[in-house]
Structure 1
């Protein structure tokens, strides 16, 4: 077993590699983490102990830690609206096909992975998967090349309220950083007040003229973001793959990921997302 240690500030990354290595050159992999925001929650903390990649040399394990903990804790709501945080930066790997990515979590129940509500109460976050957050998304690393992805953890779909607290049923998009755009805009205050909306959210669906719906297996929205009523009713989608989409405004969305819910959509517009551009779409009365 070969062990290679690289220190970056307070972050220590340990790469455990198989004894047999592919001859030839190498490539690099970069991974960032972001999340789609969620209403009625002050913060969600995710403690990641390591990142695993499975490829030509077997499973590579990159350990994340600092001087205090054997994990790194990420306040997820700090990383939305086009903001992300780096998990791996130019990690050197063997070129070839990779079959999955996994974020291994610390869930010991001592305020490592947990939810903080707006009233200040704290709830340990139960994670359904015993193997952490595993993404069965394949990718290819070319020799002397770099691949860069953003992992978008959709808390609106992933955070489940239970009788005893909260659990995480992870829904994660993997986005190629070489082909992403953004959508931003605002909602007319008169549109919200005339419909007596206390909260609002923007739902993004694949394709033009999509039929808007709640979170469900048949027509699942690509991403959901809240409308910020305290900031001129603004909204922002970051890290969206280029393509054609439908954008729908929901009034007072109470969307349980595990149930069918009646939704009140006020407006819908088509939007074309182009790589490296921000497309502005406003919802007016």
Structure 2
């Protein structure tokens, strides 16, 4: 069985996009420079997760702006149509090249007026998006196509204000948004239900150490950190990553995780983890060795729960004992 690591995509998959405002003494009609980047968190059993972007549009009061996609030679080799011919106008991003708090710029900068906007990212059928994963369990990675059911990702409204920096991140959590069909060889579906819009001026990151003695034991054992909003939570009421395959509605019991990520560790050493692009506030982090299957609800057993506070533009250090 193939499963994603319980991790938050700091976008996209966390897609981060930056809105850089003009000086404070400008008038309200002065334009604001707008550009878009992409970032990601790792996924289990996938050596590549490639998304091919074809068009990014912004809408404001009935007006539509095209956000130019940066040119890239990667699209010639990565984004292929049904006849395996290159789709040269698409931009291919391997999400595993930009994990945690890192990001990759994917657009040119354009000027937009201050105001309220919506953004649409087009990922049409046969865009060339794919994952490389050992789907049939033979020890060799195969190419599996990725499709977006609606052929586009639409995001909540956000506001571009005059003065200062207006930096936002679209965070995709693959555990919530990726649906893996039961049929071998069928395209995987990327849905927008696991997307959160983060204001980088009101967000930070979380990173920490897990000591070797607290890491899960066993050849195939994996240690995960789950993130929950709030503090003084009941460990018995912390939910797993269980979502409806089609609607994306949360079906788990208890508190829904904000995100989760696998602890990275070498042999005979402490482990480390990072969760990028988290809105400011108080959070609980829970350490577990429990298996969390995507198609059912599990009661996770947490070895330890700690608390932290995320401050804007900083990385909160949250170490387990």
Tell me the TM-score normalized by structure 2: 0.72
List alignment gaps of at least 5 residues for structure 2.
1-27, 77-87, 135-139, 243-249
Deviates more, 1:69-78 or 1:191-200: 191-200
Which secondary structure does the structure 2 equivalent of 1:74 belong to? strand
**Who is 1:134 aligned against?**
154
**Who is 1:168 aligned against?**
190
Deviates more, 1:158-167 or 1:205-214: 158-167
More helix per residue: 1 or 2?
Answer: 2
Q: Is the 8 A contact 1:115 1:123 kept in 2?
A: yes
**Who is 1:234 aligned against?**
272
Is 1:60 matched with 2:78?
no
For 2:191 and 2:257, the matched residues in 1 are separated by 16
**Who is 1:187 aligned against?**
210
| Cα drift, residue 47 of structure 1 | 0.5
Q: Is the 8 A contact 1:36 1:224 kept in 2?
A: no
Deviates more, 1:261-270 or 1:215-224: 215-224
**Equivalent residue in structure 1 for 2:130, among 108, 114, 129:** 114
For 1:89 and 1:52, the matched residues in 2 are separated by 13
**Who is 1:205 aligned against?**
228
List alignment gaps of at least 5 residues for structure 1.
1-22
**Who is 2:92 aligned against?**
73
| Cα drift, residue 204 of structure 1 | 0.7
**Equivalent residue in structure 2 for 1:103, among 121, 129, 149:** 121
Deviates more, 1:43-52 or 1:210-219: 210-219
| Cα drift, residue 73 of structure 1 | 0.5
Deviations 1:130-166 (A, max 9, x none): 3x1111x222223466522122221222222212342
| Cα drift, residue 215 of structure 1 | 2.1
Structure possessing the higher relative contact order (Cα contacts under 8 Å, 6 or more residues apart): 2
Is 1:124 matched with 2:145?
yes
Q: Is the 8 A contact 1:33 1:152 kept in 2?
A: no
Which secondary structure does the structure 2 equivalent of 1:36 belong to? coil
| Cα drift, residue 198 of structure 1 | 0.2
**Who is 1:251 aligned against?**
289
Q: Is the 8 A contact 2:204 2:314 kept in 1?
A: yes
For 2:313 and 2:200, the matched residues in 1 are separated by 9
For 1:70 and 1:54, the matched residues in 2 are separated by 22
| Cα drift, residue 197 of structure 1 | 7.3
| Cα drift, residue 56 of structure 1 | 2.7
With over 3 angstroms needed to count, the CA separation of the structure-2 counterparts of 1:66 and 1:77, relative to structure 1, is: closer
Q: Is the 8 A contact 2:216 2:289 kept in 1?
A: no
For 2:298 and 2:91, the matched residues in 1 are separated by 36
| Cα drift, residue 115 of structure 1 | 0.8
Q: Is the 8 A contact 2:224 2:260 kept in 1?
A: yes
Q: Is the 8 A contact 1:47 1:107 kept in 2?
A: no
Deviations 1:190-236 (A, max 9, x none): 22346997012111111113332112526321111111133742101
Which secondary structure does the structure 2 equivalent of 1:225 belong to? strand
Alpha-carbon RMSD: 2.5
Q: Is the 8 A contact 1:141 1:147 kept in 2?
A: yes
**Who is 1:273 aligned against?**
310
| Cα drift, residue 177 of structure 1 | 1.7
| Cα drift, residue 63 of structure 1 | 4.1
Is 1:215 matched with 2:241?
yes
Aligned residues: 256
Residues 42-53 of structure 1 mapped to structure 2, 5 A cutoff = 42-53=47-58
